[in-house]
Amino acid sequence: MNMSLLRLSQQATLFSAFLVFGMSTSHAEVTPSALAVMESQSPIDFRPDSTYFGRLPVLNFSLSSDTPLDVINNGSTEFSTAARANVNPGAGSLTLSGHDWELAQFHFHTPSEHLRDGQANPMEMHLVFSDSNNDLLVVGRWVQAGAFNNDLDPIFSHIPQNTSETLHIDHFNLNTLIPASLESFRYSGSLTTPPFSEGVSWVMLSQPLFMSSEQINAFSSLFPEGDARGIQDLNGRIVLTDVPGFVAAVPEPETYAMMLAGLCLMAFVAGRKNKPLTSDVPAGSVA
């Protein structure tokens, strides 16, 4: 295949992916048949052969270094469960491509939900942001076993054991959740808990967070069966990354620019399609 044909083929793939995103549907009542037609689900496995490398819009976090948290255990045996820290309005925000997102809460899953080239991690953190349209953006970060994490100790040393307990923390530095280096994987997906609404923008940070094995065990012992959803099909979606060395092939600049534009547009189109649903599902309810 010559280069112009190859480029045409890539663009055709992009446009078909766009149509799939544009036609995405979501359902408040999640039945197996409803779920079967939802084609932009999360989590996914980030694989080199379906990921494209290039520069990505800068993530501008603005996070309070001293804010209170309310940590709850929104446990349920029927659905996936999570321990969640609710954040006060105004304590954290993210500006991305001129768009403002407000941090509503962060929570943890065990084991990790997203995979990196087939590899899982012991835990995964999700920071859930919403915008003025109630669209959602989730910043994820893998958690690996390492040194004892002093910053997270106030949460994990007293994590609520059941749904009736709330842990109030007076002082927490949200900046300790974010690494200095912000390389990431980005794609358009869904909530990983019911109702699995689509149109969620995902930013999975490459740099892991470290916690001691004891801290990880304290959390995972609450969820012996785990609280991570299984990997979902990519269904032709595009993943973009600025992680050096993850992908071997780098697309031509103009092709990449189209992919980048497509990803932003697709997230917003899907977001609008999901509006009636996501407005029923405030960010605070997302596990």
Assess contact for 239 and 44: CB atoms under 8 A: yes
Q: Per CB under 5 A, which region of 17-25, 86-94, 120-128, 147-155 contacts Zn ion? A: 120-128
Selection from 226, 199, 234, 263 nearest residue 113 by Cα: 226
Whether the bond into 43 is cis, omega within 30 of 0: yes
Rounded Cα–Cα distance for residues 130 and 123 (Å): 23
CB 265, min distance to Zn ion, A: 25
Ramachandran bin of 272, using left for φ above 0, alpha for ψ from -120 to 50, beta for the remaining angles = alpha
Q: Which is nearer to Zn ion, 126 or 237 (CB)?
A: 126
Is residue 114 involved in binding Zn ion (CB under 5 A)? no
Rounded Cα–Cα distance for residues 149 and 176 (Å): 10
CB 277, min distance to Zn ion, A: 17
Selection from 180, 246, 172 nearest residue 207 by Cα: 180
Please select the residue that binds Zn ion; options are 116, 126, 186, 229, rule is CB under 5 A. 126
Assess contact for 141 and 179: CB atoms under 8 A: yes
Rounded Cα–Cα distance for residues 98 and 30 (Å): 34
Q: Which is nearer to Zn ion, 17 or 126 (CB)?
A: 126
CB 256, min distance to Zn ion, A: 29
End-to-end CA distance of the chain: 46
Assess contact for 225 and 37: CB atoms under 8 A: no
User: How many amino acids of this chain bind Zn ion (CB under 5 A)?
Assistant: 1
Q: Which is nearer to Zn ion, 220 or 255 (CB)?
A: 220
Q: Which is nearer to Zn ion, 126 or 186 (CB)?
A: 126
Q: Which is nearer to Zn ion, 10 or 42 (CB)?
A: 42
User: What residues contact residue 287 under an 8 Å CB cut-off, 6+ apart?
Assistant: 74, 79, 80, 81, 82, 84, 107, 192, 193, 227
DSSP element (H, E) containing 271: helix 253-273
Q: Which is nearer to Zn ion, 82 or 240 (CB)?
A: 82
CB 176, min distance to Zn ion, A: 19
Q: Which is nearer to Zn ion, 126 or 141 (CB)?
A: 126
Q: Per CB under 5 A, which region of 8-16, 39-47, 125-133, 268-276 contacts Zn ion? A: 125-133
CB 109, min distance to Zn ion, A: 5
CB 191, min distance to Zn ion, A: 8
CB 180, min distance to Zn ion, A: 23
Q: Per CB under 5 A, which region of 19-27, 28-36, 122-130, 236-244 contacts Zn ion? A: 122-130
206: helix, strand or coil = strand
Which residue is at the shortest CB distance from Zn ion?
126
- Main-chain dihedrals φ then ψ at residue 260, nearest 5 degrees: -60, -45
CB 5, min distance to Zn ion, A: 41
The site string for Zn ion over 157-176 (x = CB under 5 A, - otherwise) reads --------------------
Residues that bind Zn ion (CB under 5 A): 126
